[in-house]
Amino acid sequence: MRNNKLNVSIRVATALLAIGSAGSASAMKIVGDADDMHALNGVSVEIYGYARLNASYDIDEDISAGARTGNFSKVNTGADENNEISGHFGADAFQSRIGVLTTHSSGLKVRVESDFETNGNGLRLRHAYGEYMGVLAGQNWSNYTSFVGYTPTLDFDGLPGNAGVQFRSAQLRYTTGPLSVSLEEPLSYNGLIDTAGGGDEKEGLPVLTARLEDSAGAVSYSVAGFVRNLGYDTGTEDDSAVAYGAFGAVTLSVTDDINFNGVINYTNGSNTYLYRSGENFAAEDGYVDPATGDLELISGYGGTVGMTYKIGGGRSVNLGVGMTNVDWDDALRDLGAGTINDKHEKNTSALINYQWSPVKHATMGIEYGYYMVDEVDGDDGDASRLLFAAQYNF
């Protein structure tokens, strides 16, 4: 971009601050008069975001994490359920965020967005990318992600089994019509199971993704897949394998007020891409067989079903159920019960919420959540909680 500096003086007396739209939140669009726009070289600037309070009451046991999300890793299982202490309240505003979107008259767009890390330790980079003529470069939602089939929840982390990785990654993406392909930074939340001499997970190549997302009448749909080279190298031993996954998602608008949503996922060797599997966000991708030194991949599947009913007057009711299931059978055989027994085989949650907008740009809501964990050794546990949220967009 030419050195048009945006340090030119935007004359306050002639600038117009208008409420526009940026993503799911509102935006303050800074647009000057003809002289201002000429000085800014045809650039409009939108500042958007929201302030949000999340407050939770954990009924059975304290499973809250930052932004008051329900954390599967905190659900007690087996004998530990006997030690539960009920009734935990907490609140924070960590989910609040701010972003800037600039749009050039040529069609070039640049977005930078941050929120406050869920632990409240400072700003976290969410998005930082530029986009021109279908080419996107920077950090954005992974192309192996979709919000088709998504059931709105107040819990920031949403349902297990939501479509794709549900995280942001550095990437180079090209979109033409409903088709988009990308090369992305590989995402590994837990990597390989730590085994003696197994080495660390090695990333030698970017992840290749492709997604087709479109609508036909009352149906919106998204299908996507990825392939990835996964390996390890200790310096004396190494191995690699091809990991892959796919999802399908659909939203059916039965009427203007009722939507049904559904998602199905499968991954093999990249369980960060199976959202909220494992302890909370992802099961391990694989392990090194101690007998052979071979890299073995761990697979899993998941899905969601849900519905949205718009009552009218800015009010809605949303109900969703999500589940992930990880196949630990081979790992249990090769690594033994001591390593695998406590792994989360299945994570399930059911969330129902009521949301309303008392005034434009403000949303309130209350949600009941039920969380259940099943471990490899047969132990299980569950927890219930209430969540209140108040969000004010700008």
26-56 residue pLDDT tens: 566 665 444 454 445 688 999 999 999 999 9
Q: What is the pLDDT of residues 153-163, one digit of tens each?
A: 999 999 999 99
Which of residues 184 and 12 earns the better pLDDT score? 184
Rounded to whole angstroms, how far apart are CA atoms 199 and 234?
5
332 falls in which pLDDT band (50, 70, 90)?
Answer: very high
- HSE-CB at 92 with a 13 A cutoff on CA atoms is 17
Residues 6+ apart with CB under 8 A from 124: 114, 115, 116, 117
> Is residue 304 a contact partner of residue 320, using CB atoms and an 8 Å limit?
yes
Q: What are the φ and ψ backbone dihedral angles of 332, each rounded to 5 degrees?
A: -65, -40
Tokens of 309: 């009913």
- Maximum alpha-carbon separation in the chain: 75
Residue 170 within a domain: yes
In a domain, 201, yes or no: yes
Tell me the pLDDT tens digit for each residue of 162-194: 999 999 999 999 999 999 999 999 999 889 997
Within 8 A by CB and 6+ apart from 357, the residues are 314, 315, 363, 364
User: What rounded mean pLDDT belongs to the chain?
Assistant: 89
Residue 84 pLDDT? 80
pLDDT of residue 28: 62
pLDDT bucket at 365, cuts 50 / 70 / 90:
very high
pTM of the model as a whole? 0.88
Could you give the CA distance from residue 47 to residue 44 in angstroms, rounded to a whole number? 10
For 30, the enclosing helix (H) or strand (E) is strand 25-31
Instruction: Measure the N-to-C terminal CA separation of the chain; round to a whole number of Å.
Output: 28
**Looking at residues 97-113, what average pLDDT do you find?**
96
Average pLDDT over residues 105-113: 96
Q: How many helices (H) and strands (E) does the chain have?
A: 3, 22
HSE-CB of 294 using CA atoms within 13 angstroms:
10
Rounded CA-CA distance 209/212 in Å is 10
Q: 46 with 93: CB under 8 angstroms?
A: no
Tell me what the mean pLDDT of segment 318-335 comes to: 97
What is the per-residue pLDDT across 254-266, written as a single tens digit (0 to 9) for each?
999 999 999 999 9
Please report whether residue 208 resides in a domain.
Answer: yes
**pLDDT for 306-316, tens place per residue?**
999 999 999 99
- Whole-number pLDDT of residue 22: 34
> Alpha-carbon distance 249 to 163, whole Å?
7
Residue 5 scores a pLDDT above 80 = no
Confirm whether 181 is domain-assigned: yes
Cα–chain center distance at 296: 27
Q: What is the DSSP letter of 70?
A: B
Average pLDDT over residues 267-275: 97
Our count of domains for the chain comes to: 1
State the amino acid at position 95 in one-letter form: Q
pLDDT at residue 198 tops 70: no
Q: Output 268 or 118, whichever has higher pLDDT.
A: 268
What share of the chain has pLDDT > 90, as a percent? 79
| Domain assignment of residue 205, yes or no | yes
Mean pLDDT of 193-217: 86
Q: Is residue 200 scored above 90 in pLDDT?
A: no
In a domain, 295, yes or no: yes
pLDDT at 18: 27
How large is the average pLDDT for residues 259-288? 96
Render pLDDT for 118-157 as a digit per residue (tens, 0 to 9): 677 788 999 999 999 999 999 999 999 999 999 999 999 9
Are β-strands 286-288 and 238-253 bridged in parallel, bridged antiparallel, or unpaired? unpaired
Write the CB contacts of 328 (distance below 8 Å, at least 6 apart in sequence): 298, 340, 343, 345, 376
In a domain, 292, yes or no: yes
Question: What is the average per-residue pLDDT within 227-231?
Answer: 96
97 domain-assigned = no
> What is the span of the domain harbouring residue 198?
134-305+326-343
% of the chain exceeding 70 in pLDDT: 88
